[in-house]
Chain A
């Protein structure tokens, strides 16, 4: 089934650890995104990619990095996690359909850094 998958859904890790949030989509979309959302706040774009080997930083500065080696895979990495990184991270992809851009979201990864 065409979908967008995020793992892990929930993660609690200690300060200083390296973590990678996985995101894969089986919808054949070229464009993928990472949004960060703190509880009760708006979603902020932190990274996006328009295709393989293309990555750009979003509106909100983030210490995370991303890679896009395969069309379907867009992982996000934090080299050294800190409590300020505690947040929900939402992966998304989009299909530039005829009536404008539609973005599809994954279920999100809740990260808690202690």
Chain B
């Protein structure tokens, strides 16, 4: 069965510092990987997905199949980035998602 691991429950950084939220997965096929974000008092929403290779709100994530990782990075954190971040995996040919436990990012001024 597939699994998504986010090793950090909480990541606390200062404004302007680089951020890396870790995500590792286990799946024998070719997965689709996603990052979802939940800001305070808002619903869970898609941040980015590996297949589109995009940068959203300054965040990027690269799929490393050798290390089975999909870490989320941003060079300079902003206070408005404070939120709960979930890494998720979709199996080949399926639309359902398997989520990690999430990492709370706290950016202090």
Chain A interface (Cβ within 8 Å of chain B)?
Answer: 31, 33, 35, 40-45, 48, 50, 58-59, 90, 94, 96, 99-108
Contacts and interface: CB of A to CB of B under 8 A. Distances in A.
Interface string B34-52: 0000000001111001011
Interface in B62-109: 86, 90, 95-102
B32 interface: yes
Most buried by B among A58, A103, A108: A103
B43 A105 contact: yes
B39 to A, nearest CB: 12
A99 to B, nearest CB: 5
Nearest to B54: A99
A94 B88 CA distance: 14
Interface size class on chain B is: 20 to 34
Contacts of A31: 95
Most buried by B among A40, A100, A102: A100
A101 B95 CA distance: 6
A42 B45 contact: no
B95 A94 contact: yes
B49 A106 contact: no
Contacts of A41: 101
29 contacts: A31-B95, A33-B96, A35-B99, A40-B9, A42-B86, A42-B102, A43-B44, A43-B86, A43-B99, A45-B97, A48-B95, A50-B95, A58-B96, A59-B98, A94-B95, A99-B49, A100-B32, A100-B49, A100-B52, A100-B90, A102-B46, A103-B46, A104-B45, A104-B46, A105-B43, A105-B44, A105-B45, A107-B43, A108-B43
